[in-house]
Structure 1
């Protein structure tokens, strides 16, 4: 696929703006708190759009439209699960986590919060949680770099080995320079681009196909089963798709946005904005894939690229239906989906290495300036490792990405939720839950779900929850932990009024 020069120019301008934002954020970064959490001063709009953009990766504009194009509305159950999970995450976790992290040593990272919340002086809880983050997110980063490389490769005709570096360079640059502020500000721009593309594209597709009635008639003629939300579905299959929503409770890059919010009050506004943005984006991406069937049924001579790879349906519709200047904006939106998530993953990995390893075990008395530069160095280190993993796009390590979401959701989700709701939770309970959740997901996946076809996050989440309860009851309550929990919970209730 080749785009004309206006498209290339638009795309390059977009990348230049992202790097410029990184330079501006660089001037506002004075200490490690600024670099990791933006000094806890994100407003409601930035918190909302940054959380949304960091969540919705390239799958939103490639994977999901392709699945809907191939299988119809029965693939839309995952969107229902994601919306429900994200809403509950904002409602139950966001405000509480913002307050509890501040009351527990002003924690800057999730491992830091766990260690402070449960008085883990051994460092074991911090190390295990940081290792889970590093392993899964380094693989996630490799996946994002591959997605960006494929976009550069197919759009600009670059050899893959050069496209890997081109796709990663801009994201590495602004993340390394500006840290959390750069990532959050660029996420806001990227979220705006994404919703623009996802609302505009399906509308233009329907108009180009002759209107809504004509489009629906064409789909019914070509793929009548696409209208059936239960086509090929089983009870376990639907439950598994809905269970994707459970993953939100344990995603470090999303939870970091809650921790960085300026106040609990701003989170209420952020929840409304984020859920509106997310719902519109998911409706738009499903509509693009669904009505794409009508367009390529009416224009079969244009559908070879989509027939070869359904995940290109959104890109092909953009290329065929828009003016080259507008197509450049749509292309930027696709790359924005990749960049927004990749940048957050790089920063979370850097935070774990800097705050939870370097500061805790290497140089406890390191200056803020030193820690910021260590953080920047860690961004570059993780990025280089991810690029090395992405050098072979068919590497088997990328197969792990399919259950990295489940791994985080099961390992961290129950620990986060119960740590915010149950004052009787203890260090042993947290350790047991984290280990049981991760191990159950890995074992379930490796054994092919034991023939049940159930998404691995469900048994992982259940096992982790039971392990937390049993481990905590066996250890017994600590008066100090209970007192600190009650103080934080009281502060949250007062701030929520």
Structure 2
């Protein structure tokens, strides 16, 4: 096939528009730096905490509605045996944003943290708090890799250019504007990208539904025509897994730096809550176009299209169903518009992941552990270096798609099972200490790994009541992810109470308190806390002013 010149022109124009927006936003960021006189690196991370509500809604929504959201939603609806019944992510994402707005926004924004890991380091010290840097960053790295891989495949299908070239060029553009202006470049490009997403998908769906090869999707919702109905099915034995997945998507999507980066950049707690709730509504609404694309694929007689038989499902190409529908069911000029929408969706997720990982490294590793005396200029270069490094690694992983899915899968699991329970403890459990943190982390990790995972063909070392086997692989009837998360949370709380009582009563000698949780800390091991100016709420948050997190246990022991 020859290169689709029209599609290539649209991509060039789109990439040029995004890069131009990023350059303009970087200049705006520099003006804000000069006007506020604040830290350059902090302006790059949280935008001087003056992000408007409208911009916040756009960037928060664009972060969620990415390439994985659009492609994954259509894929689940199209896949036989799954369908609408298992299309849980749009519901889970919307509810997650609501839960975060109601319970997590206030303690994070009112204390004026810069990153999600700040409360850990303030409570447990710089070293123990940085323990969560790796799982958090791995999540961002594999998230970026997965969406870049999806974009490369999509462009190669519709524009018919080399997949490697598509991935590398997309990654370079994303890295470039993220480096230029930090959060403001990411946020303003998100506005352009979200407009492309909405317009592109809204235009494409009607053309796909009107194609003569597509039967009425209302009929195929409940009736088998070309394959199983797209309403899907939920077997009785799968109900616990369905509940497990839903809780995982609701709670496991909260402790992500990309989300809190937007929340911490707002002007007040109330504004942050409004942004989160508004983006929840829009995120849910934007699931409609990819759901309809999946339904169209179910309702298509592929023998009447240029794709032909066997069908995408029979070829194992469910994950490519969006570009396949655009290429073979929509007119060529409409498919070109669709590719712009998909490119926008992917880049809006990738830039968020890169800035998130770079912020965590700069704030919680480089300036806390590697170079505490680093100047603001040096911190800014550390941020840029981290973004470049993570972007380069994500690009390499995106070109090795066989390994990306497995790593991305586990990073999501670990976020829910390891980070979420400890995140709850550090924010809401006043008696939390380092011993509970370590035991909770190890407990959740142990039981998740030994529980197995049939999706990636990992055997189960522990078989819980009600398990069943399919093709020699163990499926746990127990809601495994949630079970491990609750075990981790319970272990953390129990060990915190136990160590407090044992050290306070003298049952355990003070010399055993190697974390210095209940004895006067040495100057070398004392937790590194931000300066008061970084943790005292401003006047516009006066009603939400709270003291910074401190270790009450250590103070009482002294």
TM-score > 0.5, shorter chain as reference: yes
State the number of aligned residues.
482
**Cα distance, 1:455 vs. partner?**
5.9
Aligned-residue offset at 1:270: 1.2
- TM-score, normalised on structure 2? 0.77
Q: Shift in Å at residue 246 of structure 1?
A: 2.0
2:15: which partner in 1?
15
Taking a change above 3 Å as real, the CA distance of residues 111 and 420 of structure 1, as seen in their structure-2 partners, is closer
Trace 1:122-133 onto structure 2 (pairs within 5 A): 123-133=126-136
Task: Using the TM superposition, give the Cα deviation of residue 376 of structure 1 relative to its aligned residue in structure 2, in angstroms.
Answer: 0.8
Q: Is residue 2:464 matched to residue 1:462?
A: no
Contact between 2:94 and 2:281, CA under 8 Å: does it hold in 1? no
Map residues 107-118 of structure 1 onto 2, 5 A cutoff.
Answer: 107-116=113-122, 118=123
Structure 1 residue runs without a partner (length 5+): none
Instruction: Provide closer, same or farther for how the CA distance between residues 231 and 10 of structure 1 changes in structure 2, counting only shifts above 3 A.
Output: farther
Larger fraction in helix:
1
Question: What TM-score, normalized to structure 1?
Answer: 0.85
Question: 1-side partners of 2:22 and 2:185: how far apart?
Answer: 5
Of 106, 109, 124, 1:98 maps to 109
Does 2:424 match 1:417? Answer: yes
| 151 and 365 in structure 1: CA distance in 2 versus 1, 3 angstrom threshold | same
**Structure 2 residue 327 is matched with structure 1 residue 278:** no
Residue in 2 that maps onto 1:184: 187
CA shift, 1:39, in A, is 1.8
Distance 1:52 1:456, change over 3 A: farther
Considering only aligned residues, what root-mean-square deviation do their CA atoms show, in Å? 3.4
Give the whole-Å Cα distance in 2 for the aligned partners of 1:389 and 1:378: 16
Partner SS state of residue 297, structure 2: helix
For residues 165-190 of structure 1, the C-alpha deviation after alignment (integer angstroms, 9 at most, x for no partner) is 12311111111111111112222322
* Secondary structure at 1:183 match in 2: helix
Counterpart mapping for 1:232-247 below 5 A: 234-243=238-247, 244-247=249-252
Contact 1:174–1:183 (8 Å) recurs in 2: yes
Name the structure 2 match of 1:164.
167
> What does residue range 288-437 of structure 1 map to in structure 2 within 5 Å?
288-296=293-301, 299=304, 302-304=307-309, 306-307=312-313, 308=315, 309-320=317-328, 322=330, 324-394=332-402, 396=403, 398-437=405-444
Secondary structure, in 3 states, of the residue corresponding to 2:43?
helix
Distance 2:91 2:400 in 1: 34
Deviation at 1:413, TM superposition (A): 1.6
Give the superposition deviation at 1:493.
9.0
User: For 1:58 and 1:114, how far apart are their aligned partners in 2?
Assistant: 31
Deviations 1:439-473 (A, max 9, x none): 54444346545430556531332122112211332
Q: 1:49 to 1:443 in 2, by over 3 A?
A: farther
Segment of structure 1 superposing worse, 349-358 or 431-440: 431-440
8 Å Cα contact 1:149-1:166 kept in structure 2? no
**Counterpart pick for 1:64 among 63, 68, 73:** 73
5+ residue gaps, structure 2, are 34-39, 464-473, 502-516, 521-526, 546-558
Deviations 1:227-274 (A, max 9, x none): 354268622232133122221122222222222222112123313421
Matches of 2:405 and 2:220, distance apart in 1: 37
In our comparison, the structure showing a higher alpha carbon Rg is: 2
CA distance in 1, matches of 2:382, 2:330: 44
- Counterpart residue number, 2:554: none
Q: Quick one: distance in 1 between partners of 2:242 and 2:192?
A: 34
Query: Which contiguous aligned blocks of 4+ residues in structure 1 show a shift greater than 6 angstroms?
Result: 477-481
Report which structure shows greater RCO (CA 8 Å, sep ≥6): 1
